[in-house]
Chains A and B, each alone.
Chain A
Amino acid sequence: MKVETAVSSSANVVPLVESLAHTRIRDCYQCGKCTAGCPMAAGMDTPPTQLIRLLQLGRAGRALRAQAIWQCVSCQTCATRCPKSVDCAGVIDALRQLSAERGMATPAQQRIVLFQKAFLRNIRRNGRLNELELIGEFKFSTFLRGRSLSFLFKDATLAPQLMKRKKFHLAGEKARDRGVVARIFARCMDDSQL
């Protein structure tokens, strides 16, 4: 049944979030200061105060599926201003990680999820970010999902403009010891589905 699925997929989320973010969800007394200062709150389905409340109420499934966790720009205003020192930005990071690992990320924010994944794959391969390659890979993966031609070609004029200003490495820089980078990734991401 649907309810059981929601419960089992969100079981143990709160302790996991607390250990990943090194913070205590129960400390929050819902003053709303995090949402008041959040530059993205106006467009969020579940603003920061409510994300924390969902976790307090044991409704983690809704938090993991929220659009808000992917709309967050990680500006750290919520965490810096919290009078109870709840690391709200850290909680959102933890929710993103669990949401992506469990395949629960909202389809509505798919582009952002795909971008972050493409970014990690890129540095896993190169040791350093290859911006051109990242743009290509990100555009291609979003095209496979959404088939939007306009998004595929949206930034096509950017590359020549950057080139005119000598603002990137054509070949892309790579770390020399890419073996160690690959091993670091493997050790950190062993249990992860990403």
Chain B
Amino acid sequence: MNLAYYPGCALHGSSNDYEQSLRACFETLDVRLKEIDDWICCGATAAHSLNQKLAIALPARNLALAENEGYRQMLAPCPMCSMQLLKARKALAEDEALRRSVSEIVELEVRGETQVLNLIQLFEAVGLDRLKAAVKTPLGSICAACYYGCLLTRPASVVEFDDSEQPRSMEKIVETLGGKTVDWNYRTECCGAGMTMASEQTVLELSHKILSNAAAHGANCLVVACPMCHVNLDMKQVNIERHYGVRHAMPIYYLSDVVGLALGFKAEALGIDRHFVCSATGKA
């Protein structure tokens, strides 16, 4: 399987541990990821908050780059990026005049045909059977609260993925790998997203509720598929503990971390040792 890869800024910056673990997994699973040459930022919340045209044009440039390289599918492991790409793709596919004007703006013909996959969808495309067959170390000790956050399933009309209220796709993968999952309430609540720097209090409040609810339902770790969620729940966890006078000590794994552990990788090979919250499980 060959597909275009759009890492986005986070995976080449403060979330490069996420890229490390997903690359390890897909190399083992014979999925070849070809990074889009000279990709640019999707614009994220700043673009869709300040300039709607830019919020279409920046992702459209990346769609056009992938299309012109002949790719029909691309992986965008950051849900912010994948949502922005999908939103642009949908708008372009529905409106020929917009396609023409955006093609001029981004200096490349863009058709909005490239399929955009999130991390969960790529594991699904590999197939749960193949994943199961590749397991070397079943995830016996993991009891995961699978956390989807916002943009993997919302807005439903744009991302068209899983159930926006009761998603189950991550649970299925974790269970396929021999792990246990818990039923809990905060699977699709927001962690505070891009407020990390500008309004830390928002992140502390929202992420504290998520961590508390996961623990109350018996989880011994959270599994995420978003770099922003990881930053807020992992990097900010010590601030949350200090602010609320509690001890969470809750390890936060990327979905590709737990897949990688099941495929037999050591924690260090996946970048788990570079997380802020240490874990007993990860060092197994």
Contacts and interface: CB of A to CB of B under 8 A. Distances in A.
Contacts of A80: 153-157, 164
B14 interface: yes
Q: What 10 A-B pairs have minimum CB-CB distances, sorted nearest first? A: A119-B46, A129-B9, A115-B198, A76-B154, A75-B190, A188-B53, A75-B150, A188-B54, A165-B274, A123-B41
A187 B193 CA distance: 29
A70 B192 CA distance: 13
B202 A73 contact: yes
B195 A73 contact: yes
A2 interface: no
B197 interface: yes
Nearest to B95: A22
Interface string B44-57: 11111111111101
B138 interface: no
Interface stretch (A7-15, A53-61, A177-185): A177-185
Given A168-B13, A168-B14, A127 B45 contact: no
Query: SS class of chain A's interface: helix, strand, loop or mixed?
Result: helix
A191 to B, nearest CB: 10
A162 interface: yes
A36 interface: no
Contact of A40 (B49, B202, B275): B202
B14 A73 contact: no
Interface string B246-284: 000000000000000000000000000011100000000
A120 B49 CA distance: 10
Category for how many chain B residues contact A:
35 or more
B49 A96 contact: yes
Given A97-B52, A135-B197, A167-B17, A187 B105 contact: yes
Interface string A104-147: 00000001101111011001000111010011001000000000
B16 A129 contact: no
Interface string A37-50: 00110000000000
B54 to A, nearest CB: 4
Contact of A77 (B44, B50, B154, B275): B154
B107 interface: yes
Contacts of B44: 119, 129
Interface in B157-211: 157, 164, 188-190, 192-195, 197-200, 202, 206
A76 B159 CA distance: 11
A66 interface: no
B12 interface: yes
Contact of A74 (B52, B61, B193, B274): B193
Contact of B40 (A127, A161, A165): A127
A110 to B, nearest CB: 10
Contacts of A75: 150, 154, 189-190, 193
Given A75-B154, A80-B154, A175 B15 contact: no
B128 interface: no
A112 B195 contact: yes
A145 B37 CA distance: 39
A173 B39 CA distance: 11
Contacts of B195: 73, 112
A192 interface: yes
18 contacts: A73-B193, A73-B202, A74-B193, A75-B190, A76-B150, A93-B48, A93-B55, A94-B52, A100-B49, A112-B199, A116-B45, A127-B41, A128-B12, A135-B197, A138-B197, A184-B106, A185-B54, A189-B54
A85 to B, nearest CB: 8
A79 to B, nearest CB: 5
A39 B190 contact: yes
Nearest to B12: A173
Contacts of B107: 180, 183-184
A187 B164 CA distance: 35
